[in-house]
Amino acid sequence: MKINIYYGGRGIIDDPTLFVISQITTVLQELNVKVQQYNLYEQRNGITALPNTLKDADGIILASTVEWFGIGGYMMQFLDACWLYGDKEKIRQIYMAPVVMSTTHGEREGMMSLAAAWEMLGGLPCDGMCGYIADTTKLENSSEYSKIIDKKTENIYRTINQKMPVFPASNQAVINKVGVAKIMDLTPQESEQLSEYVSDDKYVRTQKEDLQELASIFRDKMGHDEAGGSSEDYARTLGRKFTPVAGLTAKYKITFSDNARLRPVIIDVAGTKCDCRVGDEEGCDVSLTSDQRTFEDILGGRITFQRAFMAGNVKMKGDFKLLRNMDQLFDLMSE
């Protein structure tokens, strides 16, 4: 069994929530549960990708600290990301226990907010814990408080392990009425950067058609053969066009979706050095999938890597920031 803990506080030393989730982790590990903790303040630039971590979890703990009003911005961002990008079918199977400690007031309201949010996402809430802790040292030195945490943690484990049934809630009806997210073939990071025009399906379809028409015109003018080039030709072209980006170390793999005869192109960048070669290698930071025509348009400077991705002609897995670096690494627009 695996339980993920998502901590939405600021990570300060005297945060009582940190002590509570540390003790919860110890108890769960003693029960042979695999525990993975995600500190949202450390992941603040990638919170939109965190819903993907729910896929292998049997249950989760949403832990936050009320310092003045509400559960805090990081936790709200995470819940927003779950609503926009989370796998709702998977969320329906996941139990969630809220843990909210306050140093001021509002811990019960915070716990109820987390439970209500998870129900609206379609998930299964279970009993959590909350408390007002003005002095963390008293929490750490109290055996009575430790017994409470242990007991409630065991209840959380029992609920998740036995998959105890949960009464349906009216909040869950919301997802059936207004929770149908538009399906976009984009990463969460990219969809946030798009304007309302770019995210419009009709606009994107028109852009694809225009790009294909322009590519055809350019190809005819340049007398390109329909069969296109080889993987070796592409690797040599990228090598010639390489321009170093200070401090960048990354490994890219480009796979061609419409031509099985073309082997993948590997781009291995280490500072001022770039090794472009042909082969199918694992452990790449970014894996791109493109049709041959689109990739030749990129090499010809008719479209950038990022523009092709935004139009849906290039798919990627990996770090989105490294994809944006590709247009800096290769001076393809100069000719």
Least-confidence region, from 42-46, 120-124, 155-159, 184-188:
184-188
pLDDT tens figures, 230-250: 889 999 999 988 988 888 899
Residue 244: closest CA among 267, 271, 268: 271
Burial class (CB in 10 A: 0-12, 13-18, 19+), 227: exposed
pLDDT tens figures, 9-35: 998 888 999 999 999 999 999 999 999
* pLDDT for res 216: 61
What CATH number should be reported for the domain whose range is 2-178?
A: 3.40.50.360
Whether 127 and 156 have beta carbons less than 8 Å apart is answered as yes
- State CA 2 to chain mean position distance: 19
Number of residues written out for the chain: 335
CATH topology agreement for domains 2-178 and 188-329: no
Q: Which 3 state secondary structure label does DSSP give 302?
A: coil
Q: Note the pTM of the prediction, 2 decimals.
A: 0.55
The DSSP letter of residue 285 is: S
- Domain ranges for the chain, please list them: 2-178, 188-329
pLDDT tens figures, 103-122: 988 999 999 999 999 999 99
- Type of residue found at 11: G
Higher pLDDT, 130 or 302: 130
Class (C level, CATH) for 188-329: alpha beta
Q: Which 3 state secondary structure label does DSSP give 177?
A: helix
* pLDDT for res 20: 96
Higher pLDDT, 129 or 211: 129
